[in-house]
Amino acid sequence: MRNRVRQMDTQLPTYKVYETCSKMPLTVFEACFINKEYKALLIEGTCPDEVLESVWLTIYSEYCELTDDSQVKGMIKLQKKILSLKMRISAITAIIKMLWLIPDDKLISYLKDTFKCRGDFNYKENKDQYHRDLTAVINMTNGDAMQLNSLNKQLEKYSGLSDGKPVSKSFIDDMLVYIQECIKVFIVKEQCSVSMFCSYLKRVKKITERANAR
């Protein structure tokens, strides 16, 4: 885990989250995976839901790598693109609304440097052109929205590859029982990390593959 500090002109709260499978308790993974309770990722402080969702996708991607679950890797990459585009559209839209009411040089610089938005945005010399520049950025986000819609349709196709059934509430507990039966090891869920859980799953998978090969 590491500290994430978001700094702008005003001091924002510091927050700390679980960011790797090696540090994350299995109980936290269970809350996110089964119940989508992404706030369980927080160790201290507060942060936007979009940030927590992004952190979760990174962790789940690592989980799939550790368990060699190739079926959902493509879907996770697509989900990351969708989330990134959503955050971009949301941030730009909020900034444009503020700039339309009150021009601000720092916000204009942030818009141009961070999101690569084109335009002079020279409100001091040409107010009409300034508003045209803002309108052009709005039109650009409309293009982003079309791309987002396309990505969502692709995600629906990925989702169609599965049976569409929700994950069982007892999935983690059932897997722990199965692991303990296969490799004769006692696991305390509250003391088990996600990476350790993945290691057990891979061992069970190898045992199962050898048994099926006989």
Same domain assignment for residues 20 and 40: yes
Domain count, the chain: 2
Same domain assignment for residues 111 and 155: yes
Q: Do residues 60 and 20 make contact, with C-beta atoms less than 8 angstroms apart?
A: no
> What CA–CA distance (Å, rounded) separates 155 from 178?
31
Same domain assignment for residues 101 and 116: yes
Same domain assignment for residues 76 and 154: yes
pLDDT in tens, 40-98: 999 999 988 988 998 999 998 899 888 887 666 667 778 888 888 988 999 999 999 99
Angle, helix 194-213 to helix 49-67, in steps of 10 degrees: 30
pLDDT in tens, 146-189: 998 888 887 776 555 444 456 688 889 999 999 999 998 999 99
